[in-house]
């Protein structure tokens, strides 16, 4: 394995780093808070999107509330996906079986690899999601949030089209 082709051809480097403070609020909320102000849904922080990383990767902090959530097993044709557990317990599916993952656990899924995740613990959990290359996954998450918020019902064909547009193939 070697380094990829150069993407920067300048001589002296640039002052181009972008800092996102840790206390920045979520970019997307899927689900709501209950009457006691306990967040039961999911908060998504777009740490780095394909747009902001020039297509290199997408990195999101995914904070799940107490309500069970997460996708069914699926795969992607164009992107890899990685999961790094920050807090709580997240059930990860690696294509062979489900594992209760704890802080520090990591799962890498190459293109075509069947995977899923769920928080079924009844407690909050958080993880980092990394997509390579940097596909516009935030568009997919925002569509899901809108569907949840509006209560819109999709037909099977509409779900299939939504998934297809976002490189998500359910198994």
Rounded average pLDDT over 135-146: 94
Check residue 31 and give its pLDDT: 82
Check residue 38 and give its pLDDT: 58
Would you place residue 17 in the very low, low, confident or very high pLDDT band (cuts 50, 70, 90)?
A: very high
Q: Which percentage of the chain shows pLDDT scores above 70?
A: 95
Q: At a CB cut-off of 8 Å and minimum separation 6, what does 94 contact?
A: 107, 109, 113, 115
Backbone torsions φ then ψ of 127, nearest 5 degrees: -150, 165
Q: Is 4 exposed, middle or buried (0-12, 13-18, 19+ CB in 10 A)?
A: exposed
In the chain, the domains with their CATH numbers are: 31-170 (2.60.120.10)
| 81-134 pLDDT per residue, tens | 999 999 999 999 999 999 999 999 999 999 999 999 999 999 999 999 999 999
Check residue 32 and give its pLDDT: 67
pLDDT at 146 > cutoff 80: yes
Contact 85, 70 (CB under 8 A): no
Q: Report which DSSP code applies to 111.
A: T
The answer for 65, left when phi > 0, alpha when psi is -120 to 50, beta otherwise, is: beta
**Of 46, 44, 80, nearest to 64 (Cα)?**
44
Contact 44, 62 (CB under 8 A): yes
Check residue 34 and give its pLDDT: 52
């Amino acid at each position: 394995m070697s380094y990829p082709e150069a993407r920067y051809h300048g001589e002296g480097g640039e002052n181009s780093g972008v800092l996102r403070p840790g206390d920045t609020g979520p970019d997307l909320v899927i689900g709501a808070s209950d009457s006691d102000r306990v967040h039961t849904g999911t908060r998504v922080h777009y740490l780095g999107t394909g747009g902001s990383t020039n297509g290199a990767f997408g990195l999101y902090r995914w904070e799940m509330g107490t309500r069970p959530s997460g996708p069914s097993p699926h795969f992607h044709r164009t992107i890899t996906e990685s999961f790094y557990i920050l807090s709580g317990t997240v059930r990860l599916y690696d294509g062979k079986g489900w594992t209760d993952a704890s802080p520090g656990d990591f799962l890498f899924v190459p293109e075509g690899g069947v995977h899923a995740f769920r928080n079924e613990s009844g407690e909050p959990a958080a993880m980092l999601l990394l997509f390579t290359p940097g596909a516009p996954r935030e568009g997919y998450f925002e569509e899901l949030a809108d569907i949840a918020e509006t209560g819109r019902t999709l037909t099977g064909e509409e779900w299939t089209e939504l998934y297809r547009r976002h490189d998500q193939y359910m198994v």
